[in-house]
Amino acid sequence: MPFPWLLTLALLMPPSADRAAAVVPSPHVRAVSVPTRMLIDDAVRRSVVVRELLARLGCTDAIVYVEITASPQIPRARTKLVASVPGARFLRIGINASIAFPDLVPLLAHELQHAVEIAGRDEVRDEAAVRRLYHQIGRAGGVDSFETDAALAVELSVRIELRHR
């Protein structure tokens, strides 16, 4: 099974009628597969922080695609600005398929925070601008790898939030 956590997620979800009432899809955050859609829906249902991040993204010109991937280029997770056109920026969040189930929602929230950081700056419209942004607000973790305290704080907040549910 390519996504071992998918069965666990499906078993934890309420019946479909309850799911439809509880989850409001965001046109700004899109899943590239059914398992990813289930992850996003689960995150929205279980986390106020995730809902706030989606609301913030909804006020921007960013369209964020989320994927679960086995790519060796994404050891844990990554947010990348893919393209920019007048009136829209396209970002892609990739989460490694080997991430343990309990870490998925906090890690998604972490990457959504990075999407908010990028989307919140209108001047960030290409890779060079992303690098400049993260040199200002974060710290380098490698050639094209950056981290921010805000994303780490969001991840921790969601971990705590989920633990108390």
Q: Taking the domains of the chain in order of start, what are their residue ranges?
A: 23-163
Q: What is the pLDDT of residue 3?
A: 53
Q: What is the pLDDT of residue 21?
A: 39
Residue 123, token pair as written in the block = 């001047």
Asked if pLDDT for residue 4 goes beyond 60, the answer is no
Q: Give the Cα separation of 71 and 18 in Å (integer).
A: 34
Asked if pLDDT for residue 15 goes beyond 50, the answer is no
- Percentage, residues of the chain above pLDDT 70: 85
Greatest mean pLDDT range, 7-21, 67-81, 104-118: 104-118
Strands (DSSP E) along 10-120, which ranges? 29-31, 62-69, 77-85, 88-96
pLDDT level of residue 38 (50, 70, 90 thresholds):
very high
The average confidence (pLDDT) of the chain is 88
Q: What is the pLDDT of residue 83?
A: 97
| pTM, rounded to two decimals | 0.85
121: three-class secondary structure by DSSP: coil
pLDDT level of residue 141 (50, 70, 90 thresholds):
confident
Asked if pLDDT for residue 11 goes beyond 60, the answer is no
pLDDT level of residue 26 (50, 70, 90 thresholds):
confident
> pLDDT digits over 42-96, tens only?
999 999 999 999 999 999 999 999 999 999 989 899 999 999 999 999 999 999 9
The DSSP code for 77 is E
- Smallest CA-to-CA distance from 26 within 61, 68, 57 is with 57
- For residue 25, CA distances in Å to 44, 107, 131 come to 9, 19, 30
pLDDT level of residue 29 (50, 70, 90 thresholds):
very high
Q: What is the pLDDT of residue 140?
A: 83
Contact 101, 159 (CB under 8 A): no
Q: Give the Cα separation of 95 and 99 in Å (integer).
A: 8
Q: Give the Cα separation of 80 and 147 in Å (integer).
A: 13
